[in-house]
Structure 1
Amino acid sequence: MKIAVVGAGAIGAYVGAALHRGGAEVHLVARRDHLRAIQAEGVRVLSPRGDFTAHPHATDDPNEIGPVDYVFLGLKAHSYPSCGSLVAPLLGEHTALVAGQNGIPWWYFHRLTGPYEGRRIEAVDPGGATSKVLPPERAIGCVVYPATVIESPGVIRHLEGTRFSIGEPDGSVSRRCTELSEAMVAGGLKCPVERNLRDDIWIKLMGNAAFNPISALTRATMVDMCRHPLTRTMVARVMEEILDIAARVGSTPEISIEKRLRGAEGVGAHKTSMLQDLEAGKQLELDAIVTAVVEMADITGAEAPTLRAIHASTDLLARTVLP
């Protein structure tokens, strides 16, 4: 099995190192100091489950790699429309695209039986630009649960979690999903193949769409937002609205809001990825995490007043504070 990881950052390098350890042929596409460190010393993973070092091939030129069986996308979703030059050299006739992204994926309505089948979501597929470079028929859905950070170039700190849920947009259990799952498990990861992967997407989105923008607006950590009565109430309202939107497009995630809040509070004094990006002066992941959900509310007629207010405020923040 030949796998390329495009965007071998904190999650991408972790996945690549695990797959390489499990016996897959892995190629990492990385940049700058991180690339040079990996080429010289490999990927060093520091984990409570045990440290290890892997030595996959690493490059900044995907033409060196050629067509692969799977492309794992470790890029932020807002980079997808412009990633064609990185992905095109890797595509063979049957290459699958595995998008380890947060939020609503560009393929969401692809092969989803119902009134919205084939509908394009502008926020994550502007003018069809994402679908042009990442054809939805190649997509395997992926919900990423682990938390990782780049501690230094070539060194990944694995904080928690090993689960990468995957699934076909049409709900089938395909051979390509089964074989990828086996490769991930061989590398020490959990990788269930889910028939209803969209439910997993909404469960994770319940937290991301609430905590990420509020943290950017308030600079608060997870535990701070959960223990402050007013923001806890606001988060719960956003989660209620998220579940309403999910139900309108046919998903019914089986998780209670209170359980989701307890889990978030247990994370402790953790800064969300959106707050980290804000502090680093990077583009915020608003399009996939919030804007796309508001667009789906528009499509389905959901009111979602709390989500809309938070989206408006965070969108203004991104436009006025970031370069």
Structure 2
Amino acid sequence: MKVAVLGAGAIGAYVGASLCRAGAEVHLIARGPQLAALRENGVRVLSPRGDFHTHPNATDDPAQVGPVDHVFLGIKATGYAHAGDLVRPLLHEDTTLIAAQNGIPWWYFHGLKGPYEGRRIESVDPGGAVTRALPLERAVGCVVYAATEIESPGVVRHLEGTRFSIGEPDGSISTRCTEFADAMVAGGLKCPVEPDLRADIWIKLMGNASFNPLSVLARASLAAMCRHPGTRSVVTAMMEETLEVAARLGCHPEISIERRLAGAERTGEHKTSTLQDLERGRPMELDVLLAAVVELADLTGAEVPTLRVVAAITDLLNQQVQPT
């Protein structure tokens, strides 16, 4: 099995190293100091589950890799619309695009029976740009339940979690999914193939749609927001509104808000990825995390006053930190 990891950052390099350990032919696509370190020393993973080292191929030119069986998208959703030129050289007739993104994916209504089947979500696929770059028929969803960080170029620190849930947009258990899942498991990861991946999407989105935007407004960690009565009540309201949108789309995640809050509080003084992006002057992933939920609320008639206010304020903030 030949796999390309487009965006070999903390998650991408961790997945690539694990697949390489399982015997897959892995090509990491990276740039800058990370690429130089990957070429020279490979990937070193530091983990409470045991350290390991692998040496996958590494390049900044997908044309040098050629067609692969699976492309694991380790880039942020903000880069999807511009990924077409990078992805194209990696494709053969049956290549799968495994999208490890937070938030609402561009393929959400693809293969979903019901009144919204085939509908495009403008906030995550503006003008169809993402669909043109990443064809819907190649898409496989992936919800990441792992925390990693780049300790130094080429060195990934695995903090917690090894589950990467994947699933077809139409809910089928496909050969392409089981093939990829088997390789992930052989590499030491959990990779269940879910017939209803959208439930996983909404469970994770309960936290991402609330904690992530609030963290940039409060400059606060997950634990701090949970301990503060005011922000805890705002988070609760945002989670309730998010679940209402999910319900109107026919999705009913089996997790309580209190359990979700307790899990976030146990994470401790962790900064959300959105806050980290703000501090580094990078565009924040607010469209797929929050704007999409508001758009879906408008589509379904759900009342989401708290989400709407936070979305407006953080959108203005995001415009101010966009690179010139």
TM range (shorter): over 0.9
RMSD: 0.7
Q: Could you tell me how far 1:250 is from its partner in structure 2?
A: 1.2
Instruction: Name the SS of the counterpart of 1:92 in structure 2.
Output: coil
Instruction: Assess if the C-alpha contact under 8 Å between 2:172 and 2:195 holds in 1.
Output: yes
Instruction: Assess if the C-alpha contact under 8 Å between 1:278 and 1:322 holds in 2.
Output: no
Instruction: Assess if the C-alpha contact under 8 Å between 1:222 and 1:272 holds in 2.
Output: yes
Per-residue CA distance 1:262-289 (angstroms, 9 max, x = gap): 0000000000000000001111001111
Per-residue CA distance 1:197-231 (angstroms, 9 max, x = gap): 00000000000000000000010100000000010
Give the corresponding residue for 2:171.
171
Q: Could you tell me how far 1:303 is from its partner in structure 2?
A: 1.2
Segments of 4+ moved more than 3 angstroms: none
Aligned length: 323
Q: Could you tell me how far 1:114 is from its partner in structure 2?
A: 0.4
Give the corresponding residue for 1:309.
309
Distance in 2 separating the partners of 1:134 and 1:231: 37
Q: Are 2:131 and 1:160 aligned?
A: no
Distance in 2 separating the partners of 1:196 and 1:217: 33
Give the corresponding residue for 1:269.
269
Letter in 2 for 1:60: D
TM-score computed with the length of structure 2 as normaliser: 0.99
Distance in 1 separating the partners of 2:147 and 2:97: 22
Per-residue CA distance 1:181-205 (angstroms, 9 max, x = gap): 1000000000001001000000000
Letter in 1 for 2:103: G
Distance in 2 separating the partners of 1:253 and 1:120: 23
Q: Could you tell me how far 1:320 is from its partner in structure 2?
A: 2.4
Give the corresponding residue for 1:198.
198
Q: Could you tell me how far 1:133 is from its partner in structure 2?
A: 1.2
Give the corresponding residue for 1:228.
228
Q: Are 2:24 and 1:15 aligned?
A: no
TM-score computed with the length of structure 1 as normaliser: 0.99
Distance in 1 separating the partners of 2:100 and 2:319: 26
Instruction: Assess if the C-alpha contact under 8 Å between 1:69 and 1:92 holds in 2.
Output: yes
Give the corresponding residue for 1:290.
290
Instruction: Assess if the C-alpha contact under 8 Å between 1:103 and 1:289 holds in 2.
Output: yes
Give the corresponding residue for 1:139.
139
Instruction: Name the SS of the counterpart of 2:207 in structure 1.
Output: helix
1:1-323 equivalence runs, <5 A: 1-323=1-323
Q: Could you tell me how far 1:322 is from its partner in structure 2?
A: 4.2
Instruction: Assess if the C-alpha contact under 8 Å between 1:12 and 1:74 holds in 2.
Output: yes
Distance in 2 separating the partners of 1:124 and 1:68: 26
Instruction: Name the SS of the counterpart of 1:310 in structure 2.
Output: helix
Distance in 2 separating the partners of 1:12 and 1:302: 36
Instruction: Assess if the C-alpha contact under 8 Å between 1:140 and 1:166 holds in 2.
Output: yes
Distance in 2 separating the partners of 1:321 and 1:131: 26
Distance in 2 separating the partners of 1:218 and 1:322: 19
Distance in 2 separating the partners of 1:173 and 1:250: 20
Distance in 1 separating the partners of 2:269 and 2:279: 16
Distance in 1 separating the partners of 2:24 and 2:124: 31
Percent of matched pairs sharing the same residue: 69
